Structure 1
Amino acid sequence: MRAIVCRELGLLSALRLEEVAEPCLGPGQIRIGIKAAGINFPDILTVEGSYQHKPPLPFIVGFEIAGEVLEVADDVKNFEIGDRVIAGIRPGGFAEQAVVDASAVQHTPKRFDDITAAAFRVTYFTAYHCLFQRGRLKPGEWVLINGATGGVGLAAVEIAKLHGAKIIGTGGDDGKLEIVKQYGANHVINYEKGSFRDQVKEITGGCGVNLVYDPVGGNVFDQSLRCLTWHGRLVVVGFTSGRIPKMSLNYALIKGLSIIGCRAGEAYRNDPESGDRELQELLELAEAGKLHPFVSHVVPLERAVDGM
């Protein structure tokens, strides 16, 4: 089968499309014919060697797939050949086939085609877990969603809106921020145009936001600390800016702030029962037509590096 293979950590240009052996099926596993694979920021970090999960070399790139069941192990009972499915994989998604533990596979929501389905699992589970399990977001609260123009940011906007939050979305591109508004943000701010603390305070009547959802880090994190109200919470989702910020803890003490780390995938692996429950809630929302994964570009397997 064909696959995008990483044989050395570093530049994406080192990735190659190769012919590799089909993976073997083991007990409790499902063989999936991959129709589409999602491209996520951790894919890039993994190739660079800067992600927390470091698979041994060589490896097939890709964390998220959608496709069709080709084969099931004898002890797998909930899936049949021909079922449309989505799955998380660590890694191995940029290929024509994958073998995945049945526990990491779900039936594809009927409203999603394969391309849409491949953009669902990572971004929406991350957003859901970080907003509610970690961030404890409540209806009527103000939430500042940084990087709202990215995958986990836009998913967070849509989910937060469904749960009755008031949303300020930030990003660095005015055109993309128009899409953020379409997904439910009450206000949007381009953080490339200067400090946004005063804008956030004005929007919230001088109070600040209850929750910050931050996958960006860097200067955006620094400013976001000053946007929180008394007893505000800041959920650290990632550092797409490239700078891991540092903070003076006296500010957290003075305002009674909570700084909360959120690693959604690892949380699922450590508490699969809770993870399954959260994912099931998302699948029900998807089946009801309330979630709309955004797909900006589609490229064939041989051009996966261009998509990254």
Structure 2
Amino acid sequence: MRAVQITDHSGSPVLRQMPAPALPDADQVLIEIKACGLNFADLLMSKGKYQERPALPTILGMEPAGIVRQVGAHVDTLQQNDRVAVFSGCGGLAEQGVFPASRCVPLPANMSFEDAAAFQIAYGTSHVALDYKARLQAGETLLVLGAAGGVGLTAVEIGKLMGATVIACARGADKLEICKQAGADHVIDSETQDIRAIVKELGGADVVYDAVGGAQGEAAFRAMNPDGRFLYIGFASGDMPNLKPNHMLVKNITAIGIYWGGYLKFAPDVVTDSLRQLFKWYEEGKLSPHVSQTFPLEQALVALELLRARKSTGKVVVTMGDG
């Protein structure tokens, strides 16, 4: 089979031919992978900078979707030919993969493999962050930084579904238009406009969803209302925001870290309950994954570079085809 593999953290991923995976163990399934969503975490993992560091060599790809082809002896939740999405952690940028059955989620009948590959991490992160962690309420104001990115755009969608007023912050007119289409009530160009001033003019932010960090995160923090919640989602800028603890104290602001995949280790029901709600919204037509570009597997390295350059909007998906 073909797969995108990393052998050391100093080099670049390589697309190569390699042996097909072994038959699944008792609690695993063998998946014929049809599509895999890319995430900023794939870039961090390739350099050994992600919070999880699988042993090398390893295959990149955290978010595959495909068809169950073989089922382990102890698996009773899935059967052959089921269509599933997998939060794999790694191994998704390949034509086949063996994964724990517990990491697989059956797909709604109306969901394509491309949508499935774009769905779990981005929507799951935003829903757990906004609902379970921040307790976002209808009528509150949500500020989303990096709002045109893979997770940011889902935060805009979900924030609107939850009844919030959504302020979306992104770079450039094209990205801001995509944010408007996703439901943003107000938009801010992070390259040319003053985030703090505009948000304060709009009444301040009750919840900040920060996938960018750095100066943008600091500006957003300074525009927060008392009793606000600041969500650390990621640091796409490369820098962490320097939040002032004394300001947090005076304004009763709560800073919250969110790593969606971490819940699978100590509170998996948080993830499964969230995905159940998200798939229901998808079936009802209330969520529409924004896949900006798809690439065949042979162009996976081009797709990763697009992500690295922050030139994409929504999700970038690699498809395996029939080969």
Alignment TM-score, normalising by the size of structure 2: 0.91
Where do 5+ consecutive residues of structure 2 fail to align?
Answer: 305-323
Distance 1:53 1:191 in 2: 30
Matched-pair contact (CA < 8 Å) for 2:33–2:66: yes
Q: Which residue of 2 aligns with 1:215?
A: 211
Q: Which residue of 1 aligns with 2:182?
A: 183
Count of paired positions: 304
Distance 2:47 2:64 in 1: 21
Matched-pair contact (CA < 8 Å) for 1:111–1:289: no
How many angstroms does 1:75 deviate by? 1.8
Q: Which residue of 1 aligns with 2:293?
A: 297
Bigger relative contact order, structure 1 or 2, given CA contacts below 8 A and separation 6+? 2
Q: Which residue of 2 aligns with 1:2?
A: 2
Return the match for 1:263 from 259, 262, 266. 259
Within 5 A, what are the aligned runs for 1:36-55? 36-55=35-54
Per-residue CA deviations over 1:45-65 (Å, capped at 9, x if unaligned) read 100111111111100000001
- Which of 49-58 and 22-31 deviates more? 22-31
Return the match for 1:276 from 272, 276, 285. 272
Matched-pair contact (CA < 8 Å) for 2:2–2:15: no
How many angstroms does 1:195 deviate by? 2.1
Matched-pair contact (CA < 8 Å) for 1:234–1:259: yes
Distance 1:145 1:23 in 2: 43
* SS of residue matched to 1:151: coil
- Runs of 4+ aligned residues of structure 1 deviating over 3 Å after TM superposition are none
How many angstroms does 1:289 deviate by? 1.6
Within 5 A, what are the aligned runs for 1:1-308? 1-11=1-11, 13-204=12-203, 208-308=204-304
Where do 5+ consecutive residues of structure 1 fail to align?
Answer: none
The residue type equivalent to 1:10 in the other structure is: S
How many angstroms does 1:23 deviate by? 3.4
How many angstroms does 1:173 deviate by? 2.3
* SS of residue matched to 1:126: helix
Distance 1:44 1:203 in 2: 36
How many angstroms does 1:76 deviate by? 1.4
How many angstroms does 1:288 deviate by? 1.5
Per-residue CA deviations over 1:174-197 (Å, capped at 9, x if unaligned) read 101101111110001011114211
Pair 1:3–1:224, CA change in 2 (3 A) = same
